[in-house]
Amino acid sequence: MKRLKFKKEKCIGCQLCAQLCSAFKEGEYVPSKARIAIETTYDNGNLKYHDHFCIICGMCAKACPVDAITVTDHIEVDFDKCIGCGACAEKCPKKVVKIRDEKAYICDTCGGDPKCVQMCPQNALTFE
Amino acid sequence: MTQTMLGYQNKVLRIDLTKKGCSFEPLRMDFARKYVGSKGLAIRYMYEELEPGIDPLGPDNKLFLTTGPFTGTPVPCSGKLSIAAKSPATGTMNDCSVGGHVGVRVKYAGYDMIIFEGQLDKPGYVLIDNDKIRFMDAEHLWGKGSHEAEKILADQYGPEYSILSIGPAGENLNIMSCINCDYYRQAGRGGIGAVMGSKNMKAIVIRGTGGVKVNDIEGTTKRLFEILRNDVVNDDNQFIFDDGTTAFLEACNDGGILPVNNFSDTTDEKWTEYNGEVLNSYRQGKRGCGSCGLGCGNFLKIGNAICEGPEYETIAVAGPNAGNRDPEKIVKFNEVCDNMGLDTISCGDTITWAMEMTESGRHDFGIKFGEADKMIEYVEKIAKLEGVGADLALGTKKASEKFGGEDIAMQVKGLEYPQYEPRGSWGMALSYAVSDRGACHMRAYAPNEEVFAASIPPYTPEGKGQMVYNLGEFNAIKFSLCICDFWGTIDYAIMSELLTRVTGVEWTEQDMADVGRRVLNIGRAFNQREGFNRAHDTVPKKIVRDALQNGPAAGQVIPPEAFEDMLNQYYEIMGWNQDGTMPDELVKSLL
C-alpha cells in the first residue's frame, strides 16, 4: 500500500502542500483547513520540523465509536455516520485529524493521487 | 466604481496606535487596478496618505504592510510582504520586502494591507489574531535583542503566529535599523525599523486562519503544477536551493565587481576561504518563505555563530569589503546585526567607511581593515549608540558631513551601496543613482546584463539608460505582484496569465509593462514632492575619480561626463525633464 513519505532534509517549509490540499478539498487556499500540515520553525537556535500528515495507520478507525471511518488503501469518513466526537483526532499519532462543524476531516490521499505531492517543489513529500 | 477582483481580500486594516483603536475599510480597487499590489500599491497609498515634509520619525508617518493578489496562493515564490514608510535615512519613500511567513499570514488574517498610524504612548506590541486586534504591553521586551524578543513571543503564542520585531537599533531610532521576521528575514533598508521604533512598537504578532479565493481554483492550481515544474524548479533556478546567494560570490569576483576595502578595489584572490562551498559545509537545514518553490535560506552554524544565510551582500560587506576572510566572523557579524536590528549593508558600509577614514588618517574611528572582531563589537555600539557607535549610527552620509570623507562615503541619498562595484558594471552607478529609495540593488540589477550574462559591454555609458529602465520596469511589476527576485525566469507572459487566472480580470503583457513604468514613476513623484531632483541622483566621488587597480576591471573609472550621459538617457526614457523633475501631466496620469 502506498503511503505519504516525508524527507525533512528536502523540506523548505513553504506550505504549498497545505495550500494545494485545501484548494482541492475546500475550494480556496486555506491551509488551516488542510488535511496536511508541514512547517518548519526556529526554536532555541535549531530548525524544527512539524510534520503532520496521514500515514494510514488506521488508529482513527479503531477509535471511532460509530464506525464512520473505513481504511482500505486510503481513509474514508462517512459524514452521515460521523458525529464529530473527536475520538479519532485524539488517537491520531500524527495529529492531523481536524474536527470542524461536528465532522472529522481526514486525508484520503486524494484517492491515490495526492495533490500535495504533485506540488511539493523539492520532492520532500513522496507517495510510495 | 472599479470592478472587484478575486485574489484580493478587499479589506484594509487601519490601526491607530495613538488612540489604540482600529477600523476596517475596503481596498482602493482603483489603486489595485493601476498598481496591482505589494510594492506598487504601498507606494500609491503612501503618495495618497503621507503629507509632504512630514517627519519620518514623527506620528504622521505611517507603516504600510502590503500583500498582493498572489499572496497566500500557490503561485510560486509569492510569499513576501512589502513594508513601507517614508524613510528616516533618505527622506524618500521606502518600500522593503521581507520573506518568511508573515506575508501569507497577513493575507490569511483577511487583509490586503495593514496600516499603522500614530504612536503608542509607551512600549507595546500589537497582536492581530484574524479580526481581533489587541494592544499589548512590551516593557518586558524593550531593550532586548530582536531574537530574544521574538523567542519570548514565539514561546507565548506558538508556531501559528508570525512575529515582526525590532532590535535596540530600531528602538534608538537608528536610520540603519531593520524589521526582523522569523528570526533571520529582514525588511532591511532605509531605517524602516526606526519608523516602527518611533511608534514605540516593539513587535507585531499575527495569525491568520482564513483563506484566499481565486477565480477557477481548479484550473488555476493545475496550471501552477506545470509552471512550478517547468519554469520554477528547473536547472536555471536550482542553484538557489543548492547554494543560495553565496553563488554570486564567485560570479562577482570573476566579474571584477566584488568590493574590497570599502570599494577601493575589486577581486579577492582569497575568496575561496569564505565562499559558498565553505559556508554551506556548515549547513544545518534549508528554509524558504511561505509559497516558495526554491528555498534559498541556508541555516548554518559555525562555532558560536549562527544565522540563516549569510547572503551575498553580507558576505561581501563583512568579508573582503572589510578586509576580513574569516567565515565564522562573517556569520557572527550577520547574527549580531540581525539581533541588534541593523541592516547588514548600511551598517557594514558605515564601518568599512570608518576603516578607510582611520587608515587614511582623516579621522580616527579606532578600527582598521581586517579587524573583524572589532567590527562585530562596533555593531552593538552602533545599535546602542555607545561611544564611537553614536557617531557611526549617523550612517555614511551624515557622518561624512560631520567628519569629512564624503568622497569615500558609498551612498546615494543617504542609503549605502549594496555590494556591486559600479566601475566594473557602469549601469549599476546609474541604477543606484536613480533608485527611488537611494542606493539599492533590487531596483535594476545591472550586473546581470553587464557581467553575468555579458549581454552588453560593461565599461561604457552606451545603452545604459534603456538597460536600467528595462530592468527597473520588470522588477517594479514583479515586486508589485510580490514575486521573489529568485524566480528569475518569470516573464510578462506568465505574470499576465497568472494575474488573469487569479483575479478573473483580463491583464495583458502590455499591462505588466505599464504597471512597472507607473510604479517607477509614482516613487519618483513621491520623492519630487519632498524636494528631490537631479541634484540628488548622485555617484560617490571615488567611483568617478579613482581607477581600479586589480582584477578584470583594472583601470576602470567612470568619467563624470559618462555618468551624466547615463542620467540624461534615463530621464529621456522616463519622460522626465533634464533637471530630473517630472512634467505635471505625467504626475497627474499616475493618480
Please tell me if residue A25 touches chain B, with a CB cutoff of 8 Å.
no
**Do A40 and A78 fall within a single domain?**
no
* Percent with pLDDT over 90 in chain A: 94
For residue B130, give the amino acid letter.
Answer: N
The C-alpha cell at B460 is: 561604457
Please tell me if residue B463 touches chain A, with a CB cutoff of 8 Å.
no
Please tell me if residue A9 touches chain B, with a CB cutoff of 8 Å.
yes
Nearest chain A residue to B80 by CA distance is A14
Tell which residue, B409, B324, B415, has the closest CA to residue B371. B324
Are residues B287 and A22, on separate chains, in Cβ contact within 8 Å? Answer: no
Residue B86: predicted pLDDT = 98
* Percent with pLDDT over 70 in chain A: 100
Please tell me if residue B299 touches chain A, with a CB cutoff of 8 Å.
yes
Contacts of residue B553, defined as CB under 8 A and 6 or more positions apart, other chains included, come to: B255, B256, B257, B266, B267, B421, B423, B424, B458, B459
CATH number of the domain encompassing residue A68: 3.30.70.20
Nearest chain A residue to B212 by CA distance is A29
DSSP B423: G
Structural domain contains residue A13: yes
Q: Which member of B104, B183, B286 has the closest CB to residue A42?
A: B183
CB B348 within 8 A of CB B321: yes
Q: How far apart are the first and last CA of chain B?
A: 15
Structural domain contains residue A19: yes
**How do B185-187 and B201-207 pair as beta strands?**
unpaired
Q: Which member of B209, B217, B286 has the closest CB to residue A12?
A: B286
Tell which residue, A35, A33, A60, A50, has the closest CA to residue A115. A35
| Phi, psi of B4, deg, nearest 5 | -70, 145
A28-68 pLDDT, tens digit per residue, is 999 999 999 999 999 888 899 999 999 999 999 999 999 99
Please tell me if residue A112 touches chain B, with a CB cutoff of 8 Å.
no
Please tell me if residue B214 touches chain A, with a CB cutoff of 8 Å.
yes
Distance CA B92, CA B435 (A): 10
**A38: chain B residues, CB-CB within 8 Å:** none
Please tell me if residue B290 touches chain A, with a CB cutoff of 8 Å.
yes
pLDDT at B236 over 70: yes
Residue B3: predicted pLDDT = 75
Where would I find the H helices in B341-406?
A: 344-359, 372-384, 388-392, 395-403
pLDDT-derived band at B145, boundaries 50, 70, 90: very high
**Do A41 and A67 fall within a single domain?**
no
Average pLDDT over residues B278-302: 93
Q: Which member of B79, B108, B228 has the closest CB to residue A121?
A: B228
Please tell me if residue A7 touches chain B, with a CB cutoff of 8 Å.
no
Give me the half-sphere count of Cα atoms (radius 13 Å) on the Cβ side of residue B492.
Answer: 16
pLDDT at B2 over 70: no
- DSSP states of B191-209: THHHHHHHTTEEEEEEE--
B506-535 pLDDT, tens digit per residue, is 999 999 999 999 999 999 999 999 999 999
> Quick one: how many helices (H) and strands (E) in chain A?
4, 8
Are residues B182 and A42, on separate chains, in Cβ contact within 8 Å? Answer: yes
In the block, cell 516593557 appears at: B139
Are residues B151 and A44, on separate chains, in Cβ contact within 8 Å? Answer: yes
Are residues B74 and A31, on separate chains, in Cβ contact within 8 Å? Answer: no
Are residues A28 and B284, on separate chains, in Cβ contact within 8 Å? Answer: no
ipTM of the complex: 0.96
Domain coordinates of chain B in residue numbers?
12-207
**A119: chain B residues, CB-CB within 8 Å:** 74, 224-225, 228
Interface test mutation site (partner A, options B283, B292, B331, max chain A beta carbons within 10 A): B292
**Do A44 and A67 fall within a single domain?**
no
Q: Which member of B108, B295, B306 has the closest CB to residue A12?
A: B295
**Do A27 and A45 fall within a single domain?**
yes
Nearest chain A residue to B208 by CA distance is A32
Please tell me if residue B548 touches chain A, with a CB cutoff of 8 Å.
no
Residue A86, min C-alpha distance to chain B (Å): 20
CATH of segment(s) B12-207: 3.60.9.10
CB B214 within 8 A of CB A19: no
Distance CA B321, CA B325 (A): 10
Q: Which member of B211, B228, B299 has the closest CB to residue A28?
A: B211
The CA–CA distances, whole Å, from A44 to B147, B154, B310 equal 10, 11, 19
Please tell me if residue B154 touches chain A, with a CB cutoff of 8 Å.
yes
pTM for the complete prediction? 0.97
Are residues B211 and A26, on separate chains, in Cβ contact within 8 Å? Answer: yes
Distance CA B262, CA B111 (A): 43
pLDDT-derived band at B370, boundaries 50, 70, 90: very high
Report chain B's mean pLDDT, rounded to a whole number. Answer: 97
pLDDT at B91 over 80: yes
Structural domain contains residue A127: no
Residue B366: predicted pLDDT = 98
Please tell me if residue B183 touches chain A, with a CB cutoff of 8 Å.
yes
Tell which residue, B299, B66, B490, has the closest CA to residue A13. B299
**Do A21 and A60 fall within a single domain?**
no
Nearest chain B residue to A121 by CA distance is B293
Distance CA B102, CA B117 (A): 20
**Do A61 and A97 fall within a single domain?**
yes
Which residues make beta-bridge pairs with A77? Answer: A69
Please tell me if residue A103 touches chain B, with a CB cutoff of 8 Å.
no
* Percent with pLDDT over 70 in chain B: 100
Q: How many domains does chain A have?
A: 2
Are residues A122 and B218, on separate chains, in Cβ contact within 8 Å? Answer: no
Q: Which member of B159, B211, B292 has the closest CB to residue A14?
A: B292
B18-48 pLDDT, tens digit per residue, is 999 999 999 999 999 999 999 999 999 999 9
Residue A43: predicted pLDDT = 85
Structural domain contains residue A1: no
B372-424 pLDDT, tens digit per residue, is 999 999 999 999 999 999 999 999 999 999 999 999 999 999 999 999 999 99
Q: What is the 3-state secondary structure (H, E, C) of B160-187?
A: CCEEEECCHHHHCCCCCECEEECCCEEE
Q: Which member of B159, B224, B241 has the closest CB to residue A50?
A: B159
Identify the domain containing residue A74 by its residue range.
56-106
B311-364 pLDDT, tens digit per residue, is 999 999 999 999 999 999 999 999 999 999 999 999 999 999 999 999 999 999
Average pLDDT over residues A104-113: 95
The CA–CA distances, whole Å, from B420 to B171, B235, B278, B417, B483 equal 30, 25, 22, 8, 23
Distance CA A34, CA B505 (A): 28
